[in-house]
Structure 1
Amino acid sequence: MSERPVRVMRPMDPMLFDPLQFHTRYLLLLSKSCMWSWFYERTGISFPGLVRKHHQGLVAVECDVEYVRPFGLFDSDEFCVSVERVRARQGNSVLELFHEFSAQGQVFAKVRMLWRMLELDGDQALTGAPGVLRDSVLQRLEPCEIDPSRELRQVEVLRTQVEGEGEKIGEGHYPFTLYRHLCEVADQWSFLEVPGLASAGRERLIDALEQDPFKLRATLGRPLGQVLVKISCPFYLFEEGEVKTTAFSVHGRLVFVHRVINLTRMSTLAAVVIETFQD
């Protein structure tokens, strides 16, 4: 069988953009929404149905956002968000989805998302343990959508490279409390908000600069080129956190590495976000 893409047209909306580009959080939000369009149209399974009937859930563990080309609010009247392909990976324990955003026949952003399958305990908090796709779900996938190999994890590879080869040129700290506007239905943080927390850490670092020999302030006028996110620990309502941001110069290229720390949970590393800029 061939791939089974799903594409959704949407009108332009000023809330989707900052002055430079499409908000990362909305790329993730629309990717997630389109994912459930794909599931409902191609497998007949909605998110409530996955929970109620199949007793499974999923949690985002990594997402890669690539801004392919400049695209602004007035460049089109509408845009398309799609699921281009889906893969059940690593013994059917991880779902990998590939999304594209396009307008007037040209792709302007790509998103790849990794979702860890959960076996739910049945409580209202959607508590779950790592599991695999149940046969009742797996049988609705096509053979080409099942790949037993391990998926690519980009964040740790790039972080190791940046920290090993780069020159540290700035550091900052951004404390936050997880209030409900940053949460999803289970009163834990929404992965959609993690890139925003990282960007806030970068902007706080820049705003606090008394001197700027490396011209970090100039990045406020530069669009992002790539945002990589890895999530490794939950964050729950009212827990205290901190974004530790480090700016690196790597062979003349500026990279920001953000460590999101859950202070309430013994300063556990909850996420890593890496930001690079368009050339």
Structure 2
Amino acid sequence: MPKKNSILHSLRLWLYVKRLNYFQKKLKNDIQKFTSSQEGGKYKQEGNFISQNGLKIFPYPFQFQYIKDAIELGYEEGYPFFNYKGSNLYLPNSMSAEKAKGYANEVLMEQDERSPHVYQTPLFSLDQEDILLDIGCGDANFSLESIEKVKKVFLFEADPKWVVPIQKTFKNWKEKVLFFNKRVGVDADSIDLVTLEELESQNLFFKIDVDGAEREVLKLIDPLFPKLGSIKVAICTYHQNADADEFEAWFKSRGFETSFGKGYMLFHPDRKIKKPFFRPGVLFAYRNAG
């Protein structure tokens, strides 16, 4: 029986790899054809990059400046950490050195100022009157780089592997950080933001990156808006085909000014990806108090 199971596993793996290779080859060809057409001319730069370098989530050469083996790790009580914009950012102790270096390299690349995935722009930034709500914070790198710029930080992350790393990352700012090892929601196992009275009348900055569940978060925070001061939102728009258009329309219908960050992302892990293939990474939305 073990031998039979092994054969079945190998067959499934072979089929998966074969299908993945077919999907990726077809996607690359479709992108090349589209970006060479008049319809897709807007994305010619990105299309040329993909033609020369293969499928990349960030279709720009800045990523080649990031080298995993150049990452220097430190350890504290078995937890790896690396220097993130001048501060130590801790990772789960379940990560091997190799995996931790790869993860750190991806974070640094993702938050490069030239990346389409950054959560601030020169015209859209945090200030000392803002409370930052980092929804789907993961390692909380954005909150770490913003901790000295804001009044307070609320972290929301349901994955328990991040509890200790986050405690270590923010050990010098305990008075400014509230961490909820729960998702945002309305059931007993989540946090309903509407019930957090200390947010009322405050200026809030929402950073929302929840791996495709952004629509659910928008439904949950909508009732909170009338209770707030000024509102800034940085929300990821690359997980699904219609995210950028639908999210922008959603915010505009509620009186927000909107803009997108620079550049595009090619989120090729999405098997439902379709033209124009390249998606804005982050939508910025702003509304004054009142």
Greater fraction helix: 2
TM-score for both structures, normalised by structure 1: 0.25
Greater fraction strand: 1
TM-score for both structures, normalised by structure 2: 0.24
